[in-house]
Amino acid sequence: MSDRTRRQVLRACGAACLSATAATASADEAAANPQSESVDATESIAPGGRSGVYPGTVDRIVDGEHVVALVEEPDREPWQVVFDHSEAPAIEERDYVWLWLWRGQLLSVWQR
């Protein structure tokens, strides 16, 4: 198995584990608080309404309010997700993050 294939497998396994963990935590939270509104997703530019957990890099923070994270996938064009800095106030430029998307909308973001 080549290094590239190994990396792809590890990335896919990591994303699947994180996705399962995040989905479980989200379902538990919704069950505990049935009156809570669904997450109000912020603007994203995820081509094709993508769903899943993606690794990203914080490219820039605009006016201290909006974060632009770049997602690079093998053999695809890089794309970006834009969200409010209040979603993850501790992140800074060039931080690595996980972006959880559902049909192109950001549900959650956390540092990796």
Domain ranges in the chain?
3-111
**78 pLDDT above the threshold of 90:** yes
Question: What pLDDT, on a 0 to 100 scale, did the predictor assign at position 48?
Answer: 75
Sheet arrangement for strand 79-84: 44-45, 79-84, 66-71, 52-62, 96-102, 105-111
Instruction: Tell me the C-alpha distance between 73 and 62, whole Å.
Output: 24
Answer for the pair 65, 74: CB distance below 8 angstroms, yes or no.
no
Indicate whether 34 pLDDT > 80: no
Whole-angstrom distance, CA of residue 80 vs CA of residue 70: 4
Per-residue pLDDT at 49: 84
pTM here is 0.59
Query: Which residue has 């049909």 as its token pair?
Result: 103
The one-letter amino acid at 20: A
